[in-house]
Amino acid sequence: MTDAVGSIDMPDAEDEAPDSKKKTRKGGKRAKKGPLKRLALFYRQIVAELRKVVWPTRNQLTSYTTAVIIFVVVMIGLITLIDYGLGHVAKYVFG
């Protein structure tokens, strides 16, 4: 029986090497590098991911910002009207 990863009945190539003479460390890949090298790798990975980002153009950014500001103003207006109406209802009910 096979699936997308491989055969269930047969172990992976990585799992077949129990008799290899390599010394394994407890920490895996992390134990091989010092904290400064890991930090440098982390920042390199951040820069690599940021290069993959599709940044909006100035026109897109302006239109997105305008849409957000309009939405926020409309929501503030709706909440203000609801609050004002509920305040008057509370005054009417409780005197």
Triad 72, 69, 54: Cα angle to 5° = 120
Classify burial at 17, counting beta carbons within 10 Å of its beta carbon; exposed 0-12, middle 13-18, buried 19 or more: exposed
**Pair 56, 64: CB distance under 8 Å:** yes
All structural domains of the chain with their residue ranges: 56-94
Mean pLDDT, the chain, integer = 82
R_g of the chain, CA atoms, integer Å: 30
Task: Say if pTM beats, i.e. exceeds, 0.75.
Answer: no
For 19-43, write each residue's pLDDT tens digit: 556 665 565 555 577 889 999 999 9
pLDDT mean over 58-84: 98
Q: Residue 30 in contact with residue 38, Cβ under 8 Å?
A: yes
pLDDT of 77 reads 98
Looking at residues 72-80, what average pLDDT do you find? 98
